[in-house]
């Protein structure tokens, strides 16, 4: 992806911070659109169709969480949050809402630029993967429609967040193959994750709960190794 084709929506109410970040991003050849409150962020998101969003947490009109939630209802656009908040529950709830990454203020501009590059590389990779003719994946009662971004179990549609969807998709690409937590973190989150190392386990638990009995047992924990999918019949034989 050429930098000139990348449009970044910068949502930040502090003018000094915004103008500094904007200057640095433009120096890297990115296009930058600046919104100084949550309402403008949503307006500009619709009008400008940004490639990526840098989102401050504490904002006038709507706060960053509200903006994140509203955008996630209609788009998977990468969002990096810039936040002075660092309590674990705030961050993990934002990650659950589909936040891609975050940086705690004050941050080094070099680190922000590095995170942006990682997110853009992941986006590029996803676009390339979408070019392959795979349109659906199936394993037992589990089915994924890759075009519509829908997940089904036993013909019933189950709502998954973007990260949950990416995780189950990754497992369903090679269902019988064991994938380690590191491998899954790398593919789905795409960087050296700074959060808790049990992130994958937390997401797997949520997906299992959404699938419910009896099919949740298809997602198998391979102790000390990671996760894979196994047909229910195989599970029964072993237990």
**Window of 13-21, 29-37, 65-73, 114-122 that interacts with Ca ion by CB under 5 A:** 13-21
Give backbone dihedrals phi and psi of 61, rounded to 5 degrees, phi first. 70, -80
Total number of residues shown for the chain: 239
Per-residue binding string, Ca ion, 55-74, x by CB under 5 A, is -x-x----------------
Residues 191, 209: Cα–Cα separation, whole Å? 26
Secondary structure class of 103 (helix, strand, coil): strand
Selection from 117, 17, 112 nearest residue 58 by Cα: 17
Instruction: Work out how close the CB of 15 gets to Ca ion at its nearest, in angstroms, rounded to a whole number.
Output: 11
Secondary structure class of 174 (helix, strand, coil): coil
# of chain residues touching Ca ion (CB under 5 A) = 3
Instruction: Work out how close the CB of 38 gets to Ca ion at its nearest, in angstroms, rounded to a whole number.
Output: 10
* Structural contact between residues 74 and 51, judged by C-beta atoms closer than 8 angstroms: no
Between 85 and 208, CB nearer to Ca ion: 85
Closest CB to Ca ion belongs to which residue?
A: 58
Task: Assess 150 for contact with Ca ion (CB under 5 A).
Answer: no
Instruction: Work out how close the CB of 57 gets to Ca ion at its nearest, in angstroms, rounded to a whole number.
Output: 7
Instruction: Work out how close the CB of 116 gets to Ca ion at its nearest, in angstroms, rounded to a whole number.
Output: 19
Neighbours of 107 (CB within 10 A): 14
Residues 177, 180: Cα–Cα separation, whole Å? 10
Which of residues 3, 7, 13, 175 is near Ca ion by CB under 5 A?
Answer: 13
Enumerate binding residues for Ca ion (CB under 5 A).
13, 56, 58
């Amino acid at each position: 992806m050429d930098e000139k084709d990348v449009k970044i929506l910068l949502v930040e109410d502090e003018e000094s911070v915004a103008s500094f970040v904007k200057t640095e991003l433009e120096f890297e050849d990115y296009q930058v659109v600046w919104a100084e409150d949550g309402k403008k962020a949503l307006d500009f998101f619709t009008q400008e169709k940004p490639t990526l969003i840098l989102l401050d947490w504490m904002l006038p009109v709507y706060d960053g969480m509200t903006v994140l939630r509203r955008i996630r209802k209609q788009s998977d656009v990468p969002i990096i949050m810039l936040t002075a908040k660092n309590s674990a529950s705030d961050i993990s709830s934002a990650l659950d809402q589909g936040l891609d990454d975050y940086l705690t203020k004050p941050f080094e501009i070099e680190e922000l630029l590095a995170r942006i590059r990682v997110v853009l590389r992941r986006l590029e990779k996803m676009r390339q993967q979408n070019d392959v003719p795979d349109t659906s994946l199936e394993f037992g009662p589990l089915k994924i429609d890759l075009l519509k971004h829908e997940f089904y179990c036993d013909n019933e549609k189950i709502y998954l967040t973007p990260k949950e969807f990416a995780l189950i998709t990754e497992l369903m690409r090679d269902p019988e193959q064991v994938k380690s937590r590191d491998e899954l973190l790398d593919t789905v989150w795409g960087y050296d994750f700074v959060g808790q190392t049990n992130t994958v386990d937390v997401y797997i638990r949520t997906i299992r709960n959404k699938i419910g009995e009896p099919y949740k047992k298809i997602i198998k924990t391979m102790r000390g190794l990671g996760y894979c999918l196994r047909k229910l019949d195989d599970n029964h034989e072993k237990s």
